Structure 1
């Protein structure tokens, strides 16, 4: 059988190993991972939704986006974070929400890595402008853990 419905045993390499591991995890652990990722995205979205101008300034400091898309991106991304976070709480939506959360997390890892590589001394903007944390390796590590928490949610057999 080809496509989405393939059994984990038929997938190759690392994906196969992760899918088998995900299938062995108890249901309560999947729920706990979903809750942790959901809480992270929902909490991260609140301040950005409430203060889109401050979030736009945080994005601007990364020097990665053209000005023409910066403000629409600053308005759109927090709502996407909120929707993904809430969708993770519903089992029928969990796989798609986990994919969305994983892709956003990859984007955050790329942005943090680029800022660090260019030596930018900026706040991450991860949870809005207030209580910011400077960009460093610990944030990249945190996001790698967040990405790792998304994987079992993506790969769990139906």
Structure 2
């Protein structure tokens, strides 16, 4: 069975939405631990880490849900692309500064994900978000 362009676009949109939904649930389930992951980046002041940990998971949840259901897909894809670009910049900053941290992307604790692995994964997600944005109806 051959997938058409439209079916491939829908499949990619739903997959991207699933990734963002999963990431949002993982972070929202324990915002205090996620705030610790944010603090490891050494970018925000103490209170800023908690603000980021309180807000980012909900943005990811909303983006993921909108992408999955296909409502406001373009807006959700644009926001997903923006978030992913920010994540890439923050991850790259840890490499430049010589910080050896776990990205805190999907799970808190457990096996560590290197910054380079996370950057590569985020570049794939960014490509999917841009593709979804371009192929979604305005």
Using structure 2 for the length normalisation, give the TM-score. Answer: 0.90
Q: 2: distance between equivalents of 1:125 and 1:74?
A: 11
Shift of residue 151, structure 1, vs aligned partner: 1.0
Conserved 8 A contact 1:126-1:132: no
Q: 1: distance between equivalents of 2:29 and 2:115?
A: 26
- Name the residue aligned to 1:77: 56
- Name the residue aligned to 1:55: 34
- Name the residue aligned to 1:131: 110
- Name the residue aligned to 2:99: 120
- Name the residue aligned to 1:144: 123
Q: 1: distance between equivalents of 2:38 and 2:22?
A: 18
- For structure 1, the residue ranges without an aligned partner over 5 or more in a row are 1-24
1:100-155 CA-to-partner distances (Å, cap 9, x unmatched) read: 10001001101110011111111110013133533332211110010000112111
Q: Which has the larger radius of gyration?
A: 1
1:37-90 CA-to-partner distances (Å, cap 9, x unmatched) read: 111111111121111000000000000112232211101100110000000123
Shift of residue 157, structure 1, vs aligned partner: 6.0
Q: Which aligned segments of 4 or more residues in structure 1 are displaced greater than 6 angstroms? A: none
| SS of equivalent residue, structure 1 residue 88 | helix
Q: How many equivalent pairs are there?
A: 134
- For structure 2, the residue ranges without an aligned partner over 5 or more in a row are none
> Cα 1:148–1:137, aligned 2, differ >3 Å: closer, same or farther?
same
Q: 2:8 aligns with which of 29, 34, 45?
A: 29
> Cα 1:132–1:56, aligned 2, differ >3 Å: closer, same or farther?
farther
Q: 2:79 aligns with which of 100, 107, 117?
A: 100
Alignment RMSD (CA, Å): 1.5
